[in-house]
Amino acid sequence: MRCIVYDARCFPAIREEDLPHALVTGAARGIGLALTEALAERGWAVTATCRAPDEAAALQALGAAHSELIQIAPLDVADLEAAERLAARIEAPIDALVNNAGIAWRDTRFGALDYEAWRRVMEVNLMAPMRVAEAFIEQVAASEHRKIVSISSSLGSIAATTGGNYFYRTSKAALNMAMRSLAKDLAPRGVTVALLSPGYVDTDFTRPVVGGPPKISARDSGQGLADAIIGLTTEDSGRFKRFNGQLVDW
């Protein structure tokens, strides 16, 4: 029996033994939802996590459409103990741990910076992915594919910065460094740690922005990310790539 919504009684039965298994954070909407769908379309079992599964109508519908592959579980990545609680309930190996959950902040004008908001962005975009990685490392190391992937952004590129957007830029730049360091530390365990940029995606955050480069749909981004994640090799560990496979300048 497979449960669509998290239930401790059947949670260990996440996947059939011959299916690769991914855990995706922030799967309720946007890129995370599209990535979950793309992985399921490719025959992967997915544990799709979000803060409030009961309120995630789109994810619930996707889970119902792929009930043999997708299971939904609650996870608030800002709660640094929540990942440990969830990890204690997952017995199946995790072939790809995908840190997708993140937040941004619009009003970051120099001279009027909200430092509490900045701290919040750093907690969610930097510390939470590291905490999730720590919590699930044993399941990842026990898997066949052994991948940890964090969704970053070209806005975190120091070389390409155009100024402004301090909170989001610094959080992603710090995430890049943390994951590059983690790649070195986990290399002896055969774990591939990579960073992927989803592109300039049409989401709730980018929709109000006027001008800029053309946006791509969440579905197109999710499809590209799924292919990139599946195609990652140990040689990609510590690298920062776009969803289409191109390297991003740090």
| Type of residue found at 76 | D
Helix (H) or strand (E) holding 135: helix 128-141
Gap between the Cα atoms of 105 and 165, Å rounded: 8
* DSSP at 44: -
Q: What is the DSSP letter of 22?
A: E
Q: Which amino acid is at 205?
A: F
For the chain, give the number of residues: 250
On whether the CB atoms of residues 50 and 75 are closer than 8 A, the answer is yes
What is d(CA 94, CA 219) in angstroms, rounded to the nearest whole number? 23
Closest CA to 151 of 124, 172, 178, 180: 172
168 in active site: yes
Longest dimension (CA), the chain: 56
Coil, strand or helix at 35: helix
Cα separation, 123 vs 102, in Å, equals: 9
CB 37 within 8 A of CB 225: no
Say which of 6, 115, 166, 168 is annotated catalytic. Answer: 168
Beta-carbon contacts of 108 under 8 Å, excluding residues fewer than 6 positions away, are 118, 164, 165, 166, 167, 168
Active site residues: 168
